[in-house]
Structure 1
């Protein structure tokens, strides 16, 4: 049935490109790609295409960019391609009119071991919560978010110092391989799905926002260490730096747990040579990489060369 498949691929960021590339290299027919409309980006706010759009056009694939997924014109364009399978990777929630369209269904790749970490930011939250294992899941889409029947899963360890960005890149490739395997199972009619209806989990992955990315220095050292690496490199954990009477937001990208005998006041800053330490709820973190307002990301020792912190300087 492989030659019979006509796939519509739906995705937007670089994470999705790996799966699209893997499907093409495996010989599957993908006559159309659906991705987000071009958005303004950069200092000039020029319209920028998504990573998926760039890749698709390079490979001669038609690209659809609907603002509204229920738009009758978009649905008609999709139907004209005689699609019988839809593959979704890092896209938006689909209405029934779209996901129920193809004969063989619509499946999604999710970067967690469902039902754990349903939601928008599964990679970040797995690291933030100190998980030691995660993985990728393919599942058929239904009315709710990340609740459809599971097709396949693959598990992997999370390294003790691994950042969300590093894990993202590994899961991107692990997920691409799983997408190809899933399409192969569908093509061969060899599916053994399992329902999620009876599977519950308290581990959720809500959208990241300014509030849940802020560092609370009263939390334990290990928890703060996981939060910083779980938000690195994007969107970045942040805190206020009180310095010289000013209060400036600072992003933290890399830290390490530090052994300092005496306990400090949470948020207190201590400088030893070219090393920068901050007190937590039960110990100390060494700040290794950060970004000051209007500056590029820098190693802490480089920041200290141009910033004279005072005894009263602290994180809030």
Structure 2
């Protein structure tokens, strides 16, 4: 039996899952995604989501939805008559739709639940210096990221790996987990595992406030912070009143007290003191300028000798 499947997702992270579901022979009767985004140029056509692009390429029907309380949303789901619904990097869904598919609705989350419940699990796993992470599929319930688990897969976090690199690897692993979950559901072989709330940790949404670099931390912690926020939205600091995004860094000295935020320049290399240790800045972007290597930035900058990041 091939399950009639509704797939919900928006970003690139969800694309491998959609492709693998189709390639595995499941009948995707509807793809739900966010509306096209306007481009910067008013003359250009709006930009479709990565999931919409993939769905159209695969010849699948697409529903773009902005307001999840719109009755058309429920109507479209019911008309699709799914056996099961799959959610990968979409939005927080209203509980009223959970019962539409008789075999349930499940989500793919990019962490080893119950750790890193929330909007940014990949980022916070790197920021917190985890050595491994993974993906979890679980049945949706009203409280976000708390449902009973179905499949969990682990993955090592490489040294100096940034969030976008880890996300790409997790998206492939997640696709495997999604299809394994569908296979279990198809065979009525799911053994749901309750989450242990006492082990839960949070992965809050990234904001301007929680992505600012604190130079009063050890160099290793600052480096993890930079890696965890690269390429998007990027860790930031300020220099001479301007925002500076830091994309790549390297720990030069992990220990030793320093004057937090102070620059040290050697030839074409930029080092910054942290509360403990020294960090090399490899790639950055000054407000109003393009991203560049730190060495290129220094070639065009007249050193004064008292520079620091704040």
Quote the Cα distance in structure 1 between the aligned partners of 2:200 and 2:17: 29
Partner of 1:22: 20
Q: State the Cα distance separating 1:70 from its structure 2 match.
A: 2.5
Partner of 2:102: 103
Q: State the Cα distance separating 1:200 from its structure 2 match.
A: 2.4
Partner of 1:158: 157
Partner of 1:205: 203
1:92 and 2:91 correspond: yes
Unaligned ranges ≥5, structure 2? none
In structure 2, relative to structure 1, the CA distance for the partners of 1:202 and 1:109 (3 Å cut) is closer
| 260-269 vs 154-163, which moves further | 260-269
In structure 2, relative to structure 1, the CA distance for the partners of 1:260 and 1:60 (3 Å cut) is closer
Q: State the Cα distance separating 1:153 from its structure 2 match.
A: 0.2
The 8 Å contact of residues 252 and 290 in structure 1, kept in 2 or not, is answered as yes
Quote the Cα distance in structure 1 between the aligned partners of 2:243 and 2:41: 20
Residues 11-69 of structure 1 deviation map (CA, whole Å, 9 limit, x = unaligned): 00000011000011111100110001122233548522111011111111111112222
Partner of 1:148: 147
The 8 Å contact of residues 114 and 200 in structure 2, kept in 1 or not, is answered as no
Partner of 1:178: 177
For 2:233, which of 231, 235, 238 is the aligned residue? 235
Quote the Cα distance in structure 2 between the aligned partners of 1:308 and 1:213: 28
Q: Secondary structure at the match of 1:77?
A: helix
Partner of 2:61: 62
Q: State the Cα distance separating 1:294 from its structure 2 match.
A: 2.3
Quote the Cα distance in structure 2 between the aligned partners of 1:273 and 1:205: 39
Quote the Cα distance in structure 1 between the aligned partners of 2:128 and 2:114: 16
1:288 and 2:286 correspond: no
Q: CA RMSD in A?
A: 1.5
For 1:269, which of 258, 263, 274 is the aligned residue? 263
1:119 and 2:157 correspond: no
1:309 and 2:308 correspond: no
How does the TM-score come out when normalised to structure 1?
A: 0.94
- What is the correspondence of 1:78-89 to structure 2 with a 5 Å cutoff? 78-89=77-88
Partner of 1:50: 49
Residues 111-138 of structure 1 deviation map (CA, whole Å, 9 limit, x = unaligned): 0000000000000000000000110000
In structure 2, relative to structure 1, the CA distance for the partners of 1:55 and 1:148 (3 Å cut) is same
The 8 Å contact of residues 88 and 109 in structure 2, kept in 1 or not, is answered as yes
Q: State the Cα distance separating 1:144 from its structure 2 match.
A: 0.8
| 306-315 vs 109-118, which moves further | 306-315
1:299 and 2:293 correspond: yes
Quote the Cα distance in structure 2 between the aligned partners of 1:12 and 1:147: 22
Q: State the Cα distance separating 1:188 from its structure 2 match.
A: 1.0
Q: Secondary structure at the match of 2:249?
A: strand
Q: State the Cα distance separating 1:71 from its structure 2 match.
A: 1.6
Quote the Cα distance in structure 2 between the aligned partners of 1:89 and 1:211: 27
Residues 199-224 of structure 1 deviation map (CA, whole Å, 9 limit, x = unaligned): 32352100000010000111111110
Quote the Cα distance in structure 2 between the aligned partners of 1:202 and 1:292: 37
The 8 Å contact of residues 218 and 255 in structure 2, kept in 1 or not, is answered as no
Q: State the Cα distance separating 1:268 from its structure 2 match.
A: 0.4
The 8 Å contact of residues 223 and 251 in structure 2, kept in 1 or not, is answered as yes
The 8 Å contact of residues 117 and 200 in structure 2, kept in 1 or not, is answered as no
Q: State the Cα distance separating 1:309 from its structure 2 match.
A: 2.9
Partner of 1:36: 34
